[in-house]
């Protein structure tokens, strides 16, 4: 299929040069930081945010613990599914990486010789962010913010067009939301069964602390005290 953008007169390419141009003006150490953040750091941050959200939901407990944990389980499953859906999309569009068609880009990471549309990193991070939003609004907003930053980094690094990133955001969001009802219907009963298990129920809801034994003579029930006073 024809390349989606062929010249700098295209707004997609103009925005690519504008964002990637920031890398040329930045110090070398900052480019290395952006390379790590865009390639690995934000993916790791999304995983840690997912674990933090699970820990918070588990500690809070309540009747909505199982549905919330089910939504959290669905988030990485949806991200993986979205990447699989992207395989035929990339093969159909067959869009080369921007640095193969456009000169003067500052490419921060090498070895990117596969097709460009859509961005796997943008797809994964947005799927995780939207999945988090379904489970917990506050954590989800942070996750979506990290996904937007990931998209910026991919263009900054010179390995994706802006429309590659937008396509990844759309794909990740669509997979999470369109399949969420079916996933919730399957995963929520499973999480409720896990919650009832004496062995692994703590993965869904924190177990209540056992009661502290009352020392002999330290306290007597009110009824006993009343009987003593009556006597």
**Predicted pLDDT at 207:** 63
What is the pLDDT confidence band of residue 208, given thresholds at 50, 70 and 90?
A: low
Question: Domain for residue 212, yes or no?
Answer: no
Q: pLDDT grade, residue 16 (50/70/90)?
A: very high
Poorest-pLDDT segment among 24-33, 75-84, 144-153, 171-180 = 24-33
Residue 147 lies in a domain: yes
Name the residue with higher pLDDT: 148 or 206. 148
Taking the model in full, what pTM does it have? 0.82
Residue 142 lies in a domain: yes
CATH no. for residue 153? 1.20.144
Decide which of 229 and 192 is more confident: 192
Asked if pLDDT for residue 150 goes beyond 90, the answer is: yes
The predicted pLDDT at position 224 comes to 44
pLDDT over 60 (residue 212): no
pLDDT tens by residue, 160-200: 999 999 999 999 999 999 999 999 999 989 988 888 878 87
What was the pLDDT predicted at 221?
43
pLDDT for residue 101: 86
Rounded to whole angstroms, how far apart are CA atoms 205 and 203? 6
| Domain residue limits at 142 | 11-197
Does residue 219 fall inside a structural domain? no
DSSP 118-161: SPHHHHHHHHHHHHHHHH-HHHHHHHHHHHHHHHHHHHHTTSS-
Count of domains for the chain: 1
Q: Is 206 a domain residue?
A: no
Query: Residues 94-117: pLDDT tens digits?
Result: 999 998 888 888 888 887 888 999
Do the beta carbons of residue 42 and residue 153 sit within 8 Å?
A: yes
pLDDT (0 to 100) of residue 51: 93
- Please compute the mean of the pLDDT values over residues 79-98 and round it to a whole number: 94
Counting other chains too, the contacts that 107-111 makes at CB distance below 8 Å and 24 or more residues apart are 107/157, 107/158, 107/159, 108/23, 108/31, 108/34, 108/35, 108/38, 108/156, 108/157, 108/158, 108/159, 109/35, 109/38, 109/39, 109/157, 109/159
106 found inside a domain = yes
Residue 211 lies in a domain: no
The gap from C-alpha 206 to its chain's centroid, in whole angstroms, comes to 23
Q: Which two tokens stand for residue 33?
A: 């930081």
| Any domain includes 66 | yes
User: Which among 74, 89, 94 has a CA at the least distance from the CA of 122?
Assistant: 89
- For residue 36, pLDDT beyond 70: yes
In angstroms, the CA 144 to CA 93 distance is 26
Lowest mean pLDDT among 8-22, 37-51, 154-168: 8-22
């Amino acid at each position: 299929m024809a390349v989606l953008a062929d010249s700098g007169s295209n707004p997609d390419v103009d925005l690519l040069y504008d964002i990637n141009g920031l890398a040329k003006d930045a110090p070398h150490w900052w480019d290395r930081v952006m390379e790590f953040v865009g390639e690995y750091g934000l993916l790791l941050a999304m995983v840690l945010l997912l674990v933090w959200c699970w820990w918070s939901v588990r500690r809070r407990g309540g009747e909505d613990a199982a549905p919330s944990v089910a939504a959290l389980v669905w988030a990485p499953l949806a991200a993986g599914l979205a990447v699989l859906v992207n395989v035929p999309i990339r093969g159909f569009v067959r869009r080369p990486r921007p640095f193969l068609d456009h000169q003067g880009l500052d490419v921060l990471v090498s070895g990117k010789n596969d097709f460009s549309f859509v961005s796997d990193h943008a797809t994964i991070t947005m799927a995780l962010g939207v999945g988090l939003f379904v489970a917990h609004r506050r954590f989800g907003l942070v996750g979506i913010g990290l996904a937007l930053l990931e998209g910026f980094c991919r263009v900054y690094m010179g390995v994706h067009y802006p429309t590659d990133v937008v396509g990844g955001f759309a794909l990740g969001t669509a997979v999470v939301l369109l399949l969420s009802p079916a996933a919730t219907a399957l995963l929520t009963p499973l999480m409720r069964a896990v919650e009832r298990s004496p062995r692994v129920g703590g993965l869904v809801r924190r177990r209540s602390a056992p009661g502290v034994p009352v020392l002999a003579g330290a306290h007597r029930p009110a009824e006993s005290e009343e009987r003593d006073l009556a006597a």
